[in-house]
A and B are shown apart, each in its own frame.
Chain A
Amino acid sequence: MFPHPRLAIATASVLAWFLLPQVLSLHYLDVLNFAAILAIGGLGVGLLLGQCGIVNLGQAAFYGCGAYVTAYGTTVLGWPALPSLVFGAVISGGLAALIGFPILRLSGFFLALATLAMGSIAGVLFFEWDWLTGGTLGMGGIPKLSLLGFELSTPGRYHYFIWPLVVLLLWLARNLVDSRPGLAMRAMRDAAPAAEVLAVDMHGLKTAMFVICAVLGSVAGSLFAHYVSFVSVQSFTVEKSIMFLLVPVVAGVHSVFGIVIGALFVALVPELLSGLGDMHQVLFGLVLVLVVTVVPGGLTGAFKQFRLIRRGR
């Protein structure tokens, strides 16, 4: 019926995206904006998992770092938004290089638990350094972002700002994956000894990837701080790190654009199940276990398999 079904789908989804703020309630727009923030932080975790096979259970550390630098910079020091965001990203990236250099010698379970320890330590420090972070009371009054004199003060306006940013970052990530270092990383993941023989600097590449992951987490944190204008330790727990990890796991680690599907899933499903009270968390957990045990390729992987089976017939 359509000569270009892909083009039709793309046009339809852009149109739908554009019309969403007119159709959806404020509450669901809010959830969608959180999904976008999750997508940015989850993209970093996904690159690390998909390209290097590294499970990062400490993304909340960098997410919190970005959020607190933005909060402190814009409220206490009176900096504009962009320098705060960049400074947060620089600090996060620097920390990631410092921490990553020693711990990336580990692999598998041990590396994952080292990142979990990193996330937990960061959680304690966010709590204890209340002169900097406000502790459990948090920090409020973070100004809304404004773009070209246009204040992004409502969820609808933020929607038009953050999703194009997500798409831009995903596009950059895909270019990275297809670039020469990306190919080197794929070689490192699939055949480490062969990659080493071909003079791939594995430790350096892993560290660089860890830094990129941290920078994305930090940017997500800064955007979060501007969006809700209030940050406190409750937002940067180990559960948050697990949510960031789930984004690529649900989506399937080898698909960069699948991150959007994963983020929508992680943000929307608990919301849709929330009518069931505390039971919704149990169901969410079971869904996750089901995804890991039954469809290891994630949702995008399951879709691909389904198409292959249909084509086979």
Chain B
Amino acid sequence: MQHYTSLLLQAALSGITNGFVYALVGMGLAVIFKGSRIVNAMQGEFAVIGALFTVLALQGGQLPYPVAIIAGIAVGAVSGVAIDIFCVRPMARRNASEEGFLLLTIGLAFALSAAALYFGGRDSHLLPGYGGDGVIEILEATMPVHAVWLIVVSLVVVLALRLFYTKTLLGLSMTAASADPDGATTTGINVSRMRLYTFMLGGGVGAIAGILVTPLISMNYQMGIVLTLKGFAAAIMGGLSNPLGAVVGGVALGLLESLAVIGFPSGYRDVVALSILVVIMIVMPHGLLGRAGRVGG
């Protein structure tokens, strides 16, 4: 009996950790959807770029860890800006369709994953954990110290995003620019500038996700699409345009996944997660939090 409770607790702990990983990717998706009405099928690539660049800066450039992290986040943000200027802006100018933007981000995911293969090689990379590689014991289950950091940082990021979008003029302008572009222009908001900031923020949050994940799961050029799908499931469960909802969705998804593994062989983890994604989209199009979840955040 004792054995089963500790097994259950262990599954729950690793589920929550994974859930925050999905939440981080989902938050970036939510930021970009909120500010541009585009579902970014390459959000996971931001995580790959950020993580691989941090690895490069740390191991190749011999930079101190905090500097390497900041460099990784900056690279994510800069790639977001580049994508907006070179791809999204010309397409938005000729009013491209929703499918057009989807195909664009799929093409970008393909190109960036290939670029990560070309520049980073086939190897998987790990970053050192914050607070060393130690574990903390909770009853009879264990959890890496780094996982606690991951959860804390995720919560800080989501609170910062919430304050940014509800309290600052810039955050409100970014929301307005995508919710009603014409109205926003009338009140003097530079809509295309706001979309630029949105992609910068989305790229930066994506890179943070990658850098936080890499001490737990080794990162390679193929990880992007997996992260995108899981992050999308998290964001969808949270209502898609709400970063806080992505956290709720991510943790729910992570818990369901890891508890399902107790009953099924571990290979079916993704099947469970993706089936949940499809069912949620059909049954609850506004996410777990319902319509109200769409407003705030």
Contact = CB atoms under 8 A, between A and B. Distances in A.
Interface of A: 49, 53, 55, 57, 102-103, 105-106, 108-110, 112-114, 116-118, 120-121, 124-125, 127-128, 238, 242, 245, 249, 278-279, 281-282, 284-286, 288-289, 291-294, 296
A121 B281 CA distance: 16
Contacts of B97: 53
Nearest to B40: A109
Given A103-B282, A113-B281, 5 more contacts: A106-B281, A109-B102, A117-B229, A120-B274, A278-B117
Contact of B103 (A55, A238, A278): A55
B114 A282 contact: yes
Point out which of A105, A114, A245, A294 has the most chain B C-beta atoms below 10 A from its C-beta.
A114
A105 B282 CA distance: 7
Contact of B270 (A103, A124, A291): A124
A113 to B, nearest CB: 6
Contacts of B114: 278, 281-282, 284-285
B130 interface: no
Point out which of A112, A116, A117, A281 has the most chain B C-beta atoms below 10 A from its C-beta.
A117
B177 to A, nearest CB: 19
Nearest to A119: B274
B118 interface: yes
A282 B117 CA distance: 9
Interface of B: 39, 86-87, 90-91, 94, 96-100, 102-104, 106-108, 110-115, 117-118, 225, 229, 232, 236, 265, 267-268, 270-271, 274-275, 277-278, 281-282, 285
Contacts of B106: 57, 242, 245
Contact of A121 (B104, B110, B113, B275): B275
A249 B265 CA distance: 38
B271 A124 contact: yes
In the A-B complex, the 3 residue pairs with the smallest Cβ-Cβ separation, listed nearest first, are: A285-B111, A281-B114, A288-B107
A55 B99 contact: yes
Contacts of A284: 110-111, 114
Given A108-B99, A109-B98, A238-B225, A288 B110 contact: yes
13 contacts: A55-B103, A102-B282, A103-B281, A114-B277, A117-B229, A121-B271, A128-B268, A282-B114, A285-B110, A286-B111, A288-B107, A291-B107, A292-B100
Given A281-B118, A285-B114, A289-B111, A296 B278 contact: no
A286 B91 CA distance: 16
A118 B278 contact: yes
Given A117-B274, A117-B278, A118-B278, A242 B110 contact: yes
A291 B104 CA distance: 9
A80 B267 CA distance: 33
A108 B281 CA distance: 12
A276 B48 CA distance: 24
Contacts of A238: 225
A244 B39 CA distance: 21
B96 A113 contact: no
A113 B39 contact: yes
A34 to B, nearest CB: 18
A294 B274 CA distance: 33
Contacts, number: 112
A128 B265 contact: yes
A296 B107 contact: no
B22 to A, nearest CB: 14
Point out which of B107, B115, B267, B271 has the most chain A C-beta atoms below 10 A from its C-beta.
B107
Given A106-B282, A278-B117, A113 B103 contact: no
B103 A282 contact: no
A114 B111 CA distance: 22
Contact of B278 (A55, A114, A278, A289): A114
A143 B104 CA distance: 40
Contacts of B113: 285
A7 to B, nearest CB: 36
Contacts of A242: 106, 110
Nearest to B116: A282
A133 to B, nearest CB: 13
A152 B159 CA distance: 64
A272 to B, nearest CB: 16
Contacts of A109: 39, 98, 102
A4 B153 CA distance: 70
Contacts of B115: 282, 285
Contacts of A110: 236, 281, 285
B256 to A, nearest CB: 15
Contacts of B87: 289, 293
Nearest to A238: B225
A282 B118 contact: yes
A57 B107 CA distance: 12
B118 A125 contact: no
A293 B268 contact: no
A129 to B, nearest CB: 10
B179 to A, nearest CB: 17
A120 B229 contact: yes
A278 B271 CA distance: 31
Given A121-B270, A128-B267, A282-B115, A289 B107 contact: yes
A226 B196 CA distance: 50
A310 B225 CA distance: 43
Nearest to A276: B118
Contacts of A117: 229, 274-275, 277-278
